[in-house]
Structure 1
Amino acid sequence: MILAVLGAGAWLLREQLMIALMATRIAPQHDFDPALAPAPPDYRSDSAWAALPEKDDPADDQPGSHPDSGAPRPVGVFFVHPTSYFGRDNWNQPLADASANWITDNRVLRHQASVFNACCEVFAPRYRQATFFSYLDDAGNGERALDLAYTDVAAAFEAFLARNGDRPFILAGHSQGSQHGARLLRERIAGSPAQSRMVAAYLVGFALDRQDMGGLPVCATATATGCVIGWNTVQGESAGLNGAGRDLVCVNPLSWRADGAHAPNARNSGGIGFASYTQPAEGEDVTAMAIEPQVADAQCRAGNLVVRELRSDNFPSRMPGNSMHVYDYSLYYLNVRANAVARVDAFLSGS
């Protein structure tokens, strides 16, 4: 018992040291100052969007052996990308930052947002996202950077509603994008006319508390609509990025239920791995989308989605807490893709 406690303490210390070392390398060199913020985007311009239905972009990509199920339905998806800016020159991303946009386009649009192109037309704004260090900062700068990022997301959402018209829509995001999406739920969607048109919200990779969803329910079945879906993936019995035991939303992407039942690898239609989130591996074809069936199981436990049996070496990146954060979508790619179609069809049929 003593050895177990000592082992857990050593693991925690190692995680804390890793975070501290990371922080010294990416901390901005000045306090947040709105006067130093990059110029805001103009969402009337197509150039302010990473993905649009009329643009040729990586959100249009799909696994070659798994074509979509016909033309997209008359539904838009508003997808808010996760943190891809690790710069220290500013608390918020300049929109033309090449490194951040490479990650957004090649890792996020291709491996996350593209899951929705079978059901929907994909809209994904570029925005002045808060730099990664914002989540490590405890001096208030990160919170202010996140608030500024949200002003862009809120403006983009209004532009999306104008472009999408009165059609139904899906709200989706990952990580920082899901944080902003949850705020949209509370401040812009819940209780508004838009709520009746929302098929569902896929707010993945964020510590989403059930009390912070604007009163909307967690999705209880694979075809429930007007509800919220989320999960945070960890390998083994680990705490992940968000800790364990909190009342966080966890909908199992292999069963589409918010219970603790285990879903085996056999239910995983296929995932798509990649070596590194921030840059291509040597010799990598970043456009390749190789499907690996039955790659991972899934079980909701203590607010996390636990993977016990990973059958591939193509998902190597980990964050503190043995988090598989960057693979939240891609581990279950085909399941999420099929579910988005099923949920949209249920919404359109009124069932």
Structure 2
Amino acid sequence: MKSVIVFTCIFGVLSCSTAREPADRSFATPEYLAQPGLAVVKAAALYERGGTGAGVTVAVIDSGLMPSHQEFANRLAGPGYNYIEDVARVVDDPLNHGTKMAGLIAANRDYRGMHGVAYDAKILPMQFGASCKDRCDRRTEPFESDDQIARAWTDSYAQGVRILSNSWSNALDAHLLSESHYRQLMPDSLAVAKDLTGKDVVFVFPTGNEIRREPLMEAGLPYLVEGIEKGWLAVTAVRNDGSKITDKANACGIARNWCIAAPGGDGGKGNGLLTTDRDGAYSEATATSAAVAMVAGALAALKSRFPEMTTQQLRDRLLQTANRTGVYANSDLYGQGLLDLDAASR
């Protein structure tokens, strides 16, 4: 295979114009292998069958996006919306979280750095949180942004998006709550979630990173709210090599029937998933937030493989084809098992 300029990009050197496509067209390129989660979920098998995310858009409801990053060239479905400042464009990412998630979902396959699970998909960035005029150095609590989140979901659907990636959660245990509790905290979002799950939308949420036996509120919401499970995916995180649940990830618990495991990486340099960084280079993402992005991207890639199937049918397919062997047979920890894109794309 011809040489590929990859590692200089990984360490932040952006003058990669000499990068060139490998001669053998193999999907297991250095770029593919640089993001270790792709091999764990057997993404190359899906690519070989045409599942790259082409024609599919994922809404990233998060802290923003740095659209100038080279990995997002031709990957944005539009300017998105900043609900903090109420303007129809997303131009920054003060927390450097949404940029990382978007990269895991759909960073370009351009033979440099890394690429996303659905490298031909589009991203619609939807930015919520606190105003940077006072406290943009931390993520706002989601319940404080209920109206912003509800609008982001509604506007995403209005723009034709059916996959909503939500790498955030309210830090409350779902199994200790009720629908009335959630309605008090997130009345606008709950109403929209009920509506959109009846319209072929799939919401993807993390179980959380508190080392608990049960998931946080959003991941476990179908346990509390009747009728929304068909449009819900909870995600727990496994290590880069897929060997076991990460040291911080919450288990699937009560969400086991709609929960799936995906690579999220552990803390510490070299143990995360390589992805895009707001500074224009690359850095690592870890934990269940990263695993959510992997699953949202997988759903988009699978949609391009089976365009005749509804989004919720594909959600079912991801769950039904997950790897339940070995450690993954423990549904309390891993739900329906480890994401397997070879099996899902057959």
Q: What TM-score results when the alignment is normalised by the length of structure 2?
A: 0.41
Larger radius of gyration: 1
Q: What TM-score results when the alignment is normalised by the length of structure 1?
A: 0.41
